[in-house]
Amino acid sequence: MYQSIFRRIAVNAAAALSAAAFAASVWGAGSPAEIKIGTLYASSGNFAAISMPVHYGLKLWVDQMNAEGGVYVKPYNKKIPIKLIAYDDQSNTATAATLYNQLITQDKVDILVADSGSVLTSVAVPIARDHKMLLIDQTGTGAAFFSKDNLYIVLMSDPVSSIWPKYIADFLTTDGVKLGIKRIALLYSTNDFTGTQANAVRGFIKAANAPVEIVYDQGVPTNTTSYTVIINNISAANPDAVIALGYPNNDISYLRNLQDSGVKYKWQFAIYPGLETEHLEKTVGAKGLEYVYTYTPSSVLEYKAEFGMSLPQFRAAWNKKYGEGKVSFGFNSVAGYTTGLVLQKALAGTESMDQLALRKAIFALSGKLKTIDGSFELDETGAQIGEITPLGQIVPDGKGGLKFVVVYPHDVATGKPVYPAK
Amino acid sequence: MLEYALLAGLVFGLYFSLVGLGLNLVFGVMRIVNLAHGDFLMLGAFGAFWLFNLIHLNPIATVFLALILFTALGVPLYYLLVPRLLRAKDPEMLSIILFFGLSQVIEALATIVFGPSERSIPGRVLGSGPVQVLGQSFPAAWLASGVASALAVLGVYLYLYRTRLGYLTRAVMVNREEALATGIDVHRVSAIAFGVGLALAAIAGVFAPFMLGSVTPAMGVDLNIQSFVVIVIGSLGNPLGTVLGGIVYGVSLMFMQTYFSSWANLLPYVLLILILLVRPSGLLGRQVRRA
């Protein structure tokens, strides 16, 4: 009898040991030593100013995770350190294309993160799709990137370009009409980001059927640095409102030329006074930003973050890590950090490290994740439709500085627009 | 709009004459292509930015500093690089490779020191408010930059045509071997011309924040292309042809911005192809050969 009991115990113990060994092989030997996140950044060239803050924001998140022992990955049920593999594309799309391929085929990254902005993201979209890698698109908002038949892209941190200017158009066709705005000038840089927004502005204005007309509608190359003649041409069209859609270099040159020419439009919109306020204040000067309308960014609005750091905490962490000031804090730095937060949540929820499982995990966050960038929300194509920025106006704060006033939509407005601009 | 584009083009053209002048002087004297020209311009721009932010030094004062410093920098740099290049079989081609490398090094170092973002100097530093010229209103900083460019061009003219060193420089430009045979210290003359070329680039850089809105460490590449267009239009190797090239380029650019703004960035390449097809020696090409 004892023999039979011992035999049963021995058999059960052996079975238990086998099961444990099998589990260990699945959970232990199968888990990688690191999660490889591959990305590009532009340390030089035309897009460095929008690329580096995003990259630094992502890097800050990676360093935080690694300081805590890594990021929790559900399929392995443990925290795994992150290895960030980052290459410098120098703002060159051809270099970027080569490096995206390298990240996928040579480095075999687990997660592919695009460089910042539509231009440097555009080359990654077909490459990621061909290799069936999910492209974590940080701030490439060109509407053409997103389609129902492409499962391999998801936009993290900015709304898709086609909805960015909704509040501009809504304001001009409602409140603007009441203020007397009838003639609108539209100036844009010819790239995916601002070209898409220009199309959207035309579409929204047409759909509104309001008594406003676009009296000037011209594109300029993204590398345009001189706007004096263009400003003269815009003035000749006698607009009540001017919408200038450009990258930082465009906005800096345009607003400086505007100021130096002594021209003051009654209503002037530009993108980057809101998105990179510190940077524009340094280059254009506070005077040149006064009464300019712009997108009110997450770096100003202070959304109530339900996950990750609050805005003041992020700002403090940024200053501690990058205090030298060569890379400005602003909308793009928040965007890079937000990419990290979404990845953190997705890795904690994904069923496997398969790219489509990762996609499913990211889509599962849609409408449920609130970070310092606002509400994370995706449409069926992977385009970001949350995080829409309200229309704001930069006004003097009375102490020699500037402050933001949200003017539209009314439910989030913090003040009334100053029209015409002083 | 037409008058405004024409006048703005003239001012802008004067500035671009200055941008291309140093490159053409170096090519004319040494027959080497300084692909780092735009990067020396960028260094001048960041020098002006840095001095303005640090001690509020007016960019006009920076011009004189740039003239001295970059000429002084150019002379040893010439002796370090150029004589070796000129001993090679194909110095022109080798110079492109060597100065491309130098350009990359300068850009990388500038990015490390200054960061990649745009920097600028307030326009009011060179004069506040717009200025009326022939009934048209222009930024004061533009006009100041245009006048300074014209003075720099005049300075180069005086250097080349009114000084003994200038005569020697022109002799080297016409035929280096003959100049050597007549006892001219070709290396000394060339070294000074190289220094002056770099100084002209740096002086153009001082005005870049006002003419180009902002400056970045990566701006050199675009400026190299524009400089090439300007000097090819005027005539390669003829520094004063650069003035004509600059004005043609500036006026064309402003007309493009007025009537075909979306296509304005094609202008340098279109002009380059046109001039090479129609008049490969440049608009003043014949004159320089007979000088």
Q: What is the pLDDT along chain B (291 residues), one digit of tens a residue?
A: 778 888 988 998 999 999 999 998 998 888 888 999 999 999 999 999 999 989 999 999 999 999 999 999 999 999 999 888 888 888 888 889 999 999 999 998 988 888 777 888 888 888 877 888 888 888 888 889 999 999 999 999 999 899 999 999 999 988 888 888 988 999 999 999 999 999 999 999 999 999 988 898 888 988 998 898 888 888 777 777 888 889 988 988 888 888 888 888 788 788 888 888 888 777 776 544 444
The rounded distance, in Å, linking the Cα atoms of A402 and B121 is 19
Tell me the mean pLDDT per 10 residues along chain A, length 422.
52 52 48 94 84 94 96 95 95 93 95 93 95 94 88 87 90 95 96 90 94 95 88 94 93 91 93 88 90 85 85 90 77 92 96 95 94 90 85 90 90 90 84
Report pLDDT for A9. 54
A230 touches chain B (CB under 8 A): yes
Segment 18-57 of chain A within 8 Å of chain B by CB? 42-46, 48-49, 51-52
List domains and CATH numbers for chain A: 35-162+301-376 (3.40.50.2300), 163-297+390-412 (3.40.50.2300)
Q: Which of B14, B46, B13 is nearest to B214 (CA)?
A: B46
**Residue B222 is nearest to which of A43, A223, A279, comparing CB atoms?**
A223
Report the chain A residue with the minimal C-alpha distance to residue B123.
A260
**Residue A253 is nearest to which of B116, B214, B257, comparing CB atoms?**
B214
Q: Work out how many CB contacts closer than 8 A connect A with B.
A: 134
Which residue in B133, B214, B223, B226 has the most chain A C-beta atoms within 10 A of its own C-beta, making it the best mutation to test that interface?
B214
Report the chain A residue with the minimal C-alpha distance to residue B107.
A44
Which residue in A40, A44, A218 has the most chain B C-beta atoms within 10 A of its own C-beta, making it the best mutation to test that interface?
A44
Which residue in A224, A228, A234 has the most chain B C-beta atoms within 10 A of its own C-beta, making it the best mutation to test that interface?
A228
Determine the longest span between alpha carbons in chain B, in angstroms: 56
For domain B2-113+139-290, which architecture applies? Orthogonal Bundle (1.10)
3-state SS, chain B, equals CHHHHHHHHHHHHHHHHHHHHHHHHHHHHHCCCCCCHHHHHHHHHHHHHHHHHHHCCCHHHHHHHHHHHHHHHHHHHHHHHHHHHHHCCCHHHHHHHHHHHHHHHHHHHHHHHHCCCCECCCHHHHCCCEEEECCEEEEHHHHHHHHHHHHHHHHHHHHHHHCHHHHHHHHHHHCHHHHHHCCCCHHHHHHHHHHHHHHHHHHHHHHHHHHCCCECHHHHHHHHHHHHHHHHHHCCCCCCHHHHHHHHHHHHHHHHHHHCHHHHHHHHHHHHHHHHHHCCCCCCHHHHHHC
Q: Do A49 and B254 touch (CB under 8 A)?
A: no
Q: Do A223 and B265 touch (CB under 8 A)?
A: yes
Report pLDDT for B30. 87
Residues in B lying within 8 Å of A, measured between beta carbons: 1, 4-5, 8, 12, 107-108, 111, 114-120, 122-123, 129-130, 136-142, 210-214, 216-218, 222, 253-254, 257-258, 261-262, 264-265
pLDDT in tens, A141-160: 888 899 999 999 999 887 88
Q: Which of B27, B154, B155 is nearest to B95 (CA)?
A: B27
In chain B, which residues have their Cβ closer than 8 Å to the Cβ of A232?
A: 1, 4-5, 8, 136
**Residue B120 is nearest to which of A233, A256, A327, comparing CB atoms?**
A256
Which residue in A217, A218, A232, A329 has the most chain B C-beta atoms within 10 A of its own C-beta, making it the best mutation to test that interface?
A232
Q: Do A261 and B130 touch (CB under 8 A)?
A: yes
In chain B, which residues have their Cβ closer than 8 Å to the Cβ of A52?
A: 115-117
pLDDT in tens, B36-81: 999 999 999 999 999 998 999 999 999 999 999 999 999 999 999 9
Q: What is the ipTM of this complex?
A: 0.82
Domain definitions of chain B by residue range: 2-113+139-290
In chain B, which residues have their Cβ closer than 8 Å to the Cβ of A282?
A: 119-120
A253 touches chain B (CB under 8 A): yes
Backbone angles phi, psi at A85, to 5 degrees: -100, 110
What three-state secondary structure class fits A396? strand
Q: Do B120 and A223 touch (CB under 8 A)?
A: no
A225 touches chain B (CB under 8 A): yes
Q: Tell whether the torsion through CA atoms of A143, A147, A152 and A158 is positive or negative.
A: positive
A333 touches chain B (CB under 8 A): no
